[in-house]
Amino acid sequence: TDGHPFGWPSNGFPGPQGPYYCGVGADKAYGRDIVEAHYRACLYAGVMICGTNAEVMPAQWEFQIGPCEGINMGDHLWVARFILHRVCEDFGVVASFDPKPIPGNWNGAGCHTNFSTKEMREDGGLKFIEECIEKLGKRHNYHIRAYDPKGGLDNARRLTGHHETSNIHEFSAGVANRGASIRIPRTVGQEKKGYFEDRRPSANCDPYAVTQALIRTCLLDEEGEEPVEY
Protein backbone atom coordinates (compact mmCIF):
# COMPACT_ATOMS: atom_id res chain seq x y z
CA THR A 1 0.00 0.00 0.00
CA ASP A 2 3.00 2.36 0.41
CA GLY A 3 4.29 1.68 -3.12
CA HIS A 4 7.18 -0.40 -1.76
CA PRO A 5 7.46 -3.99 -3.06
CA PHE A 6 6.01 -6.58 -0.68
CA GLY A 7 8.64 -8.28 1.48
CA TRP A 8 11.49 -5.95 0.46
CA PRO A 9 13.48 -4.38 3.33
CA SER A 10 11.92 -1.01 4.16
CA ASN A 11 15.10 1.02 3.78
CA GLY A 12 16.87 -0.76 0.93
CA PHE A 13 16.89 -3.58 -1.56
CA PRO A 14 16.89 -7.39 -1.32
CA GLY A 15 19.81 -9.43 -2.65
CA PRO A 16 20.32 -9.37 -6.43
CA GLN A 17 18.18 -11.42 -8.81
CA GLY A 18 19.02 -15.08 -9.26
CA PRO A 19 17.61 -17.22 -6.45
CA TYR A 20 14.00 -15.96 -6.65
CA TYR A 21 12.77 -17.42 -9.95
CA CYS A 22 10.62 -20.48 -9.14
CA GLY A 23 12.23 -20.22 -5.71
CA VAL A 24 11.14 -21.69 -2.38
CA GLY A 25 11.83 -20.55 1.14
CA ALA A 26 10.75 -17.54 3.19
CA ASP A 27 13.91 -15.66 2.15
CA LYS A 28 13.18 -16.13 -1.58
CA ALA A 29 9.40 -16.30 -2.13
CA TYR A 30 7.43 -13.30 -0.85
CA GLY A 31 3.65 -13.53 -0.84
CA ARG A 32 3.04 -17.13 -1.85
CA ASP A 33 -0.10 -17.33 0.29
CA ILE A 34 -1.63 -14.54 -1.84
CA VAL A 35 -0.75 -16.40 -5.05
CA GLU A 36 -2.17 -19.69 -3.76
CA ALA A 37 -5.39 -17.96 -2.65
CA HIS A 38 -5.71 -16.33 -6.07
CA TYR A 39 -5.18 -19.67 -7.81
CA ARG A 40 -7.89 -21.39 -5.78
CA ALA A 41 -10.31 -18.50 -6.23
CA CYS A 42 -9.76 -18.65 -10.01
CA LEU A 43 -10.36 -22.42 -10.09
CA TYR A 44 -13.50 -21.97 -8.01
CA ALA A 45 -14.74 -19.23 -10.38
CA GLY A 46 -14.16 -21.41 -13.45
CA VAL A 47 -11.25 -19.33 -14.79
CA MET A 48 -8.98 -21.32 -17.15
CA ILE A 49 -5.87 -20.89 -14.99
CA CYS A 50 -3.17 -23.49 -15.61
CA GLY A 51 -0.04 -22.54 -13.70
CA THR A 52 1.81 -20.11 -11.48
CA ASN A 53 5.39 -19.47 -10.43
CA ALA A 54 7.60 -17.06 -8.53
CA GLU A 55 9.32 -14.72 -10.97
CA VAL A 56 12.83 -13.28 -11.36
CA MET A 57 12.34 -10.14 -9.27
CA PRO A 58 11.56 -10.80 -5.58
CA ALA A 59 7.81 -10.36 -4.84
CA GLN A 60 7.06 -10.71 -8.57
CA TRP A 61 4.79 -13.58 -9.58
CA GLU A 62 3.37 -14.98 -12.79
CA PHE A 63 0.17 -16.86 -13.50
CA GLN A 64 -0.79 -18.53 -16.76
CA ILE A 65 -4.25 -18.46 -18.36
CA GLY A 66 -5.20 -21.06 -20.98
CA PRO A 67 -5.34 -22.89 -23.16
CA CYS A 68 -8.26 -20.85 -24.49
CA GLU A 69 -9.76 -20.52 -27.95
CA GLY A 70 -9.89 -17.14 -29.67
CA ILE A 71 -11.29 -14.21 -27.76
CA ASN A 72 -12.08 -16.32 -24.64
CA MET A 73 -8.51 -15.70 -23.55
CA GLY A 74 -9.29 -12.04 -22.89
CA ASP A 75 -12.38 -12.90 -20.85
CA HIS A 76 -10.49 -15.31 -18.59
CA LEU A 77 -7.44 -13.06 -18.14
CA TRP A 78 -9.58 -10.02 -17.34
CA VAL A 79 -11.53 -11.91 -14.65
CA ALA A 80 -8.30 -13.40 -13.25
CA ARG A 81 -6.90 -9.88 -12.86
CA PHE A 82 -10.08 -8.75 -11.08
CA ILE A 83 -9.87 -11.73 -8.70
CA LEU A 84 -6.18 -10.96 -8.02
CA HIS A 85 -6.99 -7.39 -7.02
CA ARG A 86 -9.85 -8.68 -4.85
CA VAL A 87 -7.69 -11.33 -3.13
CA CYS A 88 -4.86 -8.82 -2.57
CA GLU A 89 -7.40 -6.54 -0.89
CA ASP A 90 -7.96 -9.20 1.78
CA PHE A 91 -4.20 -9.35 2.42
CA GLY A 92 -3.76 -5.57 2.56
CA VAL A 93 -1.51 -5.65 -0.51
CA VAL A 94 -1.84 -3.84 -3.87
CA ALA A 95 -1.10 -5.76 -7.09
CA SER A 96 0.75 -3.90 -9.84
CA PHE A 97 0.70 -4.86 -13.53
CA ASP A 98 3.22 -2.16 -14.39
CA PRO A 99 5.65 -3.48 -17.03
CA LYS A 100 8.62 -2.01 -15.11
CA PRO A 101 7.54 -1.59 -11.49
CA ILE A 102 11.07 -0.98 -10.18
CA PRO A 103 13.57 0.91 -12.37
CA GLY A 104 17.14 -0.31 -12.58
CA ASN A 105 18.60 -3.80 -12.49
CA TRP A 106 15.30 -5.64 -11.94
CA ASN A 107 13.20 -7.64 -14.37
CA GLY A 108 10.08 -6.08 -15.84
CA ALA A 109 6.69 -7.76 -16.18
CA GLY A 110 5.32 -9.04 -19.49
CA CYS A 111 2.20 -10.84 -20.62
CA HIS A 112 3.89 -13.51 -22.72
CA THR A 113 1.33 -14.74 -25.23
CA ASN A 114 1.38 -18.31 -26.52
CA PHE A 115 -0.34 -18.64 -29.89
CA SER A 116 -1.06 -21.54 -32.21
CA THR A 117 -3.46 -22.69 -34.90
CA LYS A 118 -4.61 -26.19 -35.79
CA GLU A 119 -2.00 -26.36 -38.58
CA MET A 120 0.79 -25.44 -36.18
CA ARG A 121 -0.16 -28.23 -33.78
CA GLU A 122 -0.20 -30.92 -36.50
CA ASP A 123 2.86 -32.71 -37.89
CA GLY A 124 5.11 -30.32 -39.77
CA GLY A 125 3.48 -27.36 -38.04
CA LEU A 126 6.84 -25.62 -37.58
CA LYS A 127 6.54 -24.43 -41.19
CA PHE A 128 3.37 -22.50 -40.34
CA ILE A 129 4.99 -21.12 -37.17
CA GLU A 130 7.94 -19.82 -39.19
CA GLU A 131 5.58 -18.28 -41.79
CA CYS A 132 3.75 -16.42 -39.01
CA ILE A 133 6.99 -15.18 -37.49
CA GLU A 134 8.03 -13.80 -40.86
CA LYS A 135 4.72 -11.88 -41.11
CA LEU A 136 5.11 -10.59 -37.54
CA GLY A 137 8.64 -9.39 -38.29
CA LYS A 138 7.34 -7.11 -41.05
CA ARG A 139 4.74 -5.54 -38.75
CA HIS A 140 6.73 -5.01 -35.56
CA ASN A 141 5.72 -1.37 -34.99
CA TYR A 142 1.99 -2.09 -35.34
CA HIS A 143 2.26 -4.82 -32.70
CA ILE A 144 4.30 -2.69 -30.31
CA ARG A 145 1.57 -0.02 -30.44
CA ALA A 146 -1.10 -2.66 -29.69
CA TYR A 147 0.81 -4.35 -26.86
CA ASP A 148 0.43 -1.81 -24.05
CA PRO A 149 -2.25 0.75 -23.11
CA LYS A 150 -0.02 3.73 -23.98
CA GLY A 151 0.82 2.72 -27.54
CA GLY A 152 4.29 1.44 -26.67
CA LEU A 153 5.37 4.01 -24.07
CA ASP A 154 4.88 1.63 -21.12
CA ASN A 155 6.77 -1.14 -22.89
CA ALA A 156 9.65 1.18 -23.79
CA ARG A 157 10.62 1.12 -20.10
CA ARG A 158 10.66 -2.70 -20.14
CA LEU A 159 11.84 -3.76 -23.62
CA THR A 160 15.42 -2.56 -23.34
CA GLY A 161 17.27 -5.60 -24.62
CA HIS A 162 18.30 -6.41 -21.04
CA HIS A 163 16.66 -8.47 -18.27
CA GLU A 164 15.43 -11.23 -20.61
CA THR A 165 13.75 -8.86 -23.08
CA SER A 166 14.19 -7.96 -26.72
CA ASN A 167 14.86 -4.35 -27.73
CA ILE A 168 11.62 -2.49 -28.52
CA HIS A 169 13.12 -1.15 -31.79
CA GLU A 170 14.22 -4.54 -33.16
CA PHE A 171 12.36 -7.74 -34.06
CA SER A 172 14.00 -11.08 -33.31
CA ALA A 173 13.01 -14.74 -33.06
CA GLY A 174 14.74 -17.90 -31.93
CA VAL A 175 14.38 -21.34 -30.36
CA ALA A 176 14.51 -21.26 -26.54
CA ASN A 177 15.72 -17.62 -26.64
CA ARG A 178 14.36 -15.63 -23.71
CA GLY A 179 15.85 -12.44 -25.17
CA ALA A 180 13.91 -12.61 -28.45
CA SER A 181 10.65 -10.92 -29.48
CA ILE A 182 9.27 -14.34 -30.46
CA ARG A 183 10.43 -17.51 -28.74
CA ILE A 184 9.91 -20.96 -30.20
CA PRO A 185 9.99 -23.32 -27.18
CA ARG A 186 12.74 -25.93 -27.27
CA THR A 187 10.27 -28.84 -27.38
CA VAL A 188 8.51 -27.23 -30.37
CA GLY A 189 11.85 -26.95 -32.18
CA GLN A 190 12.49 -30.64 -31.51
CA GLU A 191 9.00 -31.93 -32.36
CA LYS A 192 8.59 -29.55 -35.35
CA LYS A 193 5.08 -28.58 -34.21
CA GLY A 194 3.23 -26.76 -31.43
CA TYR A 195 3.07 -23.03 -30.71
CA PHE A 196 5.15 -19.87 -30.47
CA GLU A 197 5.42 -17.31 -27.70
CA ASP A 198 5.19 -13.56 -28.34
CA ARG A 199 7.20 -12.06 -25.47
CA ARG A 200 6.44 -8.42 -26.36
CA PRO A 201 3.02 -7.71 -24.74
CA SER A 202 3.29 -5.88 -21.42
CA ALA A 203 1.76 -7.14 -18.17
CA ASN A 204 -0.84 -4.35 -18.32
CA CYS A 205 -1.81 -5.03 -21.94
CA ASP A 206 -5.37 -5.24 -23.22
CA PRO A 207 -5.64 -8.98 -24.02
CA TYR A 208 -8.30 -8.34 -26.66
CA ALA A 209 -5.99 -5.93 -28.49
CA VAL A 210 -3.15 -8.48 -28.39
CA THR A 211 -5.42 -11.23 -29.73
CA GLN A 212 -6.69 -8.90 -32.45
CA ALA A 213 -3.19 -7.93 -33.58
CA LEU A 214 -2.05 -11.57 -33.80
CA ILE A 215 -5.16 -12.62 -35.72
CA ARG A 216 -4.90 -9.71 -38.16
CA THR A 217 -1.24 -10.36 -38.96
CA CYS A 218 -1.01 -14.16 -38.75
CA LEU A 219 -4.41 -15.29 -40.06
CA LEU A 220 -5.75 -12.38 -42.12
CA ASP A 221 -2.31 -11.70 -43.70
CA GLU A 222 -2.58 -7.97 -43.08
CA GLU A 223 0.45 -5.80 -43.79
CA GLY A 224 1.41 -2.22 -43.07
CA GLU A 225 1.36 0.06 -40.07
CA GLU A 226 -2.43 0.32 -39.70
CA PRO A 227 -5.18 -2.29 -39.20
CA VAL A 228 -7.33 -2.97 -42.25
CA GLU A 229 -10.97 -1.81 -42.20
CA TYR A 230 -13.36 -4.60 -43.18
User: What CATH number was assigned to the domain covering residues 15-95?
Assistant: 3.30.590.10
Which residue type does 140 have?
H
Domain 109-222 has CATH 3.40.630.10: no
pTM, full prediction: 0.95
Report the pLDDT value the prediction gives residue 214, as an integer from 0 to 100.
Answer: 98
Note down pLDDT in tens along the chain; length 230 residues: 998 999 999 889 999 999 999 999 999 999 999 999 999 999 999 999 999 999 999 999 999 999 999 999 999 999 999 999 999 999 999 999 999 999 999 999 999 999 999 999 999 999 999 999 999 999 999 999 999 999 999 999 999 999 999 999 999 999 999 999 999 999 999 999 999 999 999 999 999 999 999 999 999 999 999 999 99
> What gap in Å lies between CA 32 and CA 40, rounded to an integer?
12
* pLDDT recorded at residue 146: 98
Evaluate whether 78 touches 66 at the Cβ level (below 8 Å).
no
- The pLDDT assigned to 30 comes to 97
In angstroms, the CA 212 to CA 47 distance is 21
CA distance to 89, 148, 199, 201, per residue, from 209 (Å): 28, 9, 15, 10
pLDDT of residue 156: 97
Q: Give the residue extent of every domain in the chain.
A: 15-95, 109-222
Coil, helix or strand for 198?
Answer: strand
* Amino acid in the structure at residue 132: C
Give exposure, 111-136, as e/b (b: 16+ Cβ within 10 Å): bebbbbeeebeeeebbebbeebbebb
Q: Residue 79 has what pLDDT?
A: 98
